[in-house]
Amino acid sequence: MTPADRWRDVVAARISAEHMDALAPVRDRSGVRVHPAAAAAWVRWPAGSADVVRCLLPVPGVTFFTHLRGVWSMLGSRLPTSDVPPEGDGLPVAAVLVPGRFEAASPRREEIRPAVLGIVRGGEPRPASALVCSVEVLVRWADVATTAELAAVRAARCGGRAILLGPRLPSLAGAVRLWGTDVLVPVGFRPEPELPPATLREACGAEADELLVLDEARAEVVPKGAFEPLTRAGVRLGAAQS
């Protein structure tokens, strides 16, 4: 007899009542029936139900029974036994195993704090695409710059500050060089939190035709239409109005 044949004829077991939860994996099997008692319980199932046997094998003190030719025997014994399951159909496992009592818990309420947008040192090295300088410094440079150097940049003025855009930016005293396309950040810094440019722009209310400029003090939105080709006359006029 092979090991598989040995378990094929097992159709009942007696287990301690405290280990009834071992039947949980087969609680949906209508053929598995239980005769509960105070200290022990009898379990019966159709022959060949290997999954039921596997559930009960680890149970401490379990006793298995076979029922061959109308005779009950303990597994491993050829002698009949008077220790047999009760008569009747018994109860389905689902009627015996009741989920333990539980108490509903309210979800934890965590305070949601808004993120503060700023810049911190770090990030990958990036080429400068813009710079911020004073109008006074820009006037001095424009007076000595060549026509080609002036034509390489576009500028916008806000009070006494000027922002220059272009691939070939001049070296100006006290200027802050920026990297980026639609979001401009000082070179050597990165946004914090480090979110995609589109998300940063949306958070600051920047429209499609506006640039977002970040520095350590503020986030500033600048219309792209404010940038014009740089000329000496335009620089002098801006200086006079600042």
226 and 147 part of one domain: yes
Residue at which a domain ends, from 65, 96, 127: 96
- Which sign does the torsion angle of CA 7, 12, 16, 22 carry? positive
- Greater model confidence, 116 or 146: 146
Query: Count of residues for the chain?
Result: 242
141 and 236 part of one domain: yes
- The number of distinct structural domains making up the chain is 2
Residue 39: pLDDT band with limits 50, 70, 90? confident
pTM of the model: 0.54
Q: What are 150-171's pLDDT values in tens digits? A: 999 999 998 889 999 999 999 9
Which segments within 23-144 are labelled E, that is strand? 33-36, 40-44, 63-68, 71-74, 91-92, 118-121, 130-134
Mean pLDDT of the 195-204 span? 94
Closest C-alpha to 194, from 80, 90, 117, 102: 117
Structure tokens of 132?
């911020």
**Mean pLDDT computed over every residue of the chain:** 89
Helix (H) or strand (E) holding 135: helix 135-144
Q: Which domain holds residue 213?
A: 118-241
Residue 44: pLDDT band with limits 50, 70, 90? very high
pLDDT at 240: 81
42 and 76 part of one domain: yes
171 and 61 part of one domain: no
Does the residue 106 lie in any domain? Answer: no
* 1 has a pLDDT exceeding 50: no
Structure tokens of 91?
């109860």
147 and 222 part of one domain: yes
- Greater model confidence, 14 or 234: 14
Q: What percent of the chain has pLDDT over 70?
A: 96
* 2 has a pLDDT exceeding 90: no
The Cα–Cα gap between 51 and 92 comes to: 16
Mean pLDDT of the 183-195 span? 95
Does the residue 101 lie in any domain? Answer: no
148 and 235 part of one domain: yes
In the block, tokens 């600051």 appear at: 204
Three-state secondary-structure class, residue 81: coil
Does the residue 10 lie in any domain? Answer: yes
Alpha-carbon distance values, 206 to 153, 156, 191 (Å) = 23, 17, 16
Find all residues with CB under 8 Å of 49, minimum gap 6, and list them: 11, 29, 31, 32
Q: What are 67-109's pLDDT values in tens digits? A: 988 899 999 888 999 888 888 888 999 888 877 677 778 788 7
